[in-house]
Amino acid sequence: MNGLKDAQGQQIVAQPETQVYSGSAPNLTHLMSRGTFASGNFDLLNAACRAERDKLSDSDPTAFSASYLKGTTPECLNQPQLEAWLRNPPSILPEFVNPTKLAATDGKYRGMPNLNLTETQIDQLVAYLKTLK
């Protein structure tokens, strides 16, 4: 997330350029302004809200555009999918880690690692992510 710093003004979040090949760590700064997450592989909208938005796309382009620009509201969040991804991201969207090729990338990898978050941490993170527009 952009802009998160500690009391000394240092970035709190690990610098992706030091750990991730091609800077491909997920940036969650504006998560709720989107309709998908994890490189567009998963729908942030729950089924009911996705169905409603899909109906608008077929019948009312203006209403669809307004709905799309609204992003994902907390009541429309596909929270179970987001929680499952936070619980163990590589089990849902595997990282690109090929031990035989890490020398060529200076040990860097691609994708969201498993941070081994507790359920409490996942609840806190989801609550925070819901605030990001």
Q: Which residue has the tokens 């796309």?
A: 57
Could you give the CA distance from residue 67 to residue 39 in angstroms, rounded to a whole number?
A: 21
Which residues in 29-56 are b (16+ Cβ under 10 Å) and which e?
A: eebbeebebbeeeebbbbeebeeebeeb
- The answer to whether the beta carbons of residues 133 and 34 sit under 8 Å apart is no
pLDDT at residue 109 tops 70? no
Q: Which residue has the higher pLDDT, 13 or 46?
A: 46
pTM of the full structure: 0.70
Residue identified by tokens 């952009």 is: 2
Q: Which two tokens stand for residue 83?
A: 């929680």
Span 1-19, average pLDDT: 59
Mean pLDDT of all residues in 62-87: 89
